[in-house]
Structure formats: structure tokens, C-alpha cells
């Protein structure tokens, strides 16, 4: 019968720890229907199957405001610059989806916009698409700030069909 040596056990344990590694950092995510709609806009917004969109009865000129609380998850505490990926629908000149990642300072009460996503910066499409934006200025500091995404879904023409499906917030290295 063979004896297991101290060295063999050490290497086996070391190999296990290296393979297991730390848990992968995860970004903050939400679906469009999980946000808090401004009370004045409740009659404009329809939330269905994870999507927030302006309902069929929303008149031209409608702007719905929806806010999403961003909580501290592993990926946002690592450091780096803010990054946001958005799944949305903007079918043309009559639709627009704008998201602003904001920091609300605990001590001063000041709100700062860290990042802005504007669907008009991308090609219009009648189907959902994913696009991303980032900024090399600023970083997350959950000890001194609370964070949220302020979304506006706009209908500027009869044929406008804007919708917000998914928001992912993380960090990037610049």
C-alpha cells in the first residue's frame, strides 16, 4: 500500500484552490419592468414580460420616467470606470430611450450623472438591440454614494414604439 506524502497532499490542495479560484464578479442587472415609474406617468407605461414600453394609448409627446435602484454587487466594487449595456427598441425618429447612471452623494445630497445612454446615438431598428456605453471618468463608491439609473422612454411621433428590456451596469478598464 502506498503512503500519501505531505507534498502530494499539498499539491493536490493547491491545484484545487487554483482551479476553483475566486467567484467570478457579476455586474448589476435588471429588466425594464422592474423599475419604479413616476406616478404622473403610470397611465403611459405598460410593463410586460420584463419589458417597459409606452402603451398604445400614449399620445405623441409622451415621456415616461422610470428609475432603477443600482445595488452594490461584486463587479461594481472591483474598481474601474462605469459601463452600461442596454437592450432596447427604438424604431426610428418617433422613438427614443435615454438612460442616465447617476450617483447621489450621501454627505452633500448632490446628484452627478456618471454615464448617459441615448438610443438616438445608434441606428434605429424595429427589433430589440443591445448597445453599450462607458465613461473613463468616475468610479463606483458605495460608501459615499447611492446609485440609480434614470430612464426616459419617449414617443415623439405616432409611429414611435420605444421600449426598454434589460439594463446591465458594470465597470470597464480605460
Question: All domains of the chain, ordered by start, with CATH?
Answer: 25-172 (2.60.120.200)
pLDDT digits (tens, 9 = 90+) for 17-56: 333 333 346 899 999 999 999 999 999 999 999 999 998 8
Contact 167, 101 (CB under 8 A): no
Phi, psi torsion values for 76, nearest 5 degrees: -85, -10
pTM of the predicted model, to two decimals?
0.84
Phi, psi torsion values for 85, nearest 5 degrees: -115, 135
Amino acid at each position: 500500500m502506498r503512503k500519501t506524502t505531505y507534498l502530494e497532499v499539498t499539491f493536490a490542495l493547491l491545484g484545487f484552490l487554483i482551479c476553483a479560484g475566486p467567484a467570478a464578479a457579476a455586474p448589476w442587472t435588471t429588466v425594464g419592468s422592474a423599475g419604479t415609474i413616476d406616478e404622473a406617468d403610470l397611465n403611459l407605461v405598460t410593463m410586460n414580460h420584463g419589458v417597459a414600453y409606452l402603451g398604445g394609448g400614449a399620445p405623441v409627446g409622451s415621456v415616461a420616467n422610470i428609475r432603477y435602484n443600482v445595488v452594490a454587487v461584486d463587479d461594481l466594487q472591483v474598481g474601474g470606470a462605469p459601463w452600461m449595456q442596454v437592450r432596447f427598441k427604438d424604431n426610428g425618429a418617433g422613438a427614443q430611450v435615454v438612460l442616465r447612471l447617476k450617483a447621489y452623494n450621501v454627505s452633500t445630497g448632490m446628484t452627478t450623472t456618471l454615464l448617459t445612454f441615448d438610443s438616438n446615438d445608434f441606428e434605429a431598428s424595429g427589433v430589440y438591440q443591445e448597445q453599450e456605453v462607458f465613461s473613463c471618468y468616475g468610479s463606483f463608491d458605495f460608501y459615499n454614494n447611492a446609485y440609480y439609473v434614470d430612464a426616459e422612454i419617449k414617443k415623439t411621433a405616432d409611429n414611435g414604439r420605444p421600449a426598454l428590456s434589460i439594463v446591465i451596469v458594470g465597470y470597464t478598464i480605460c
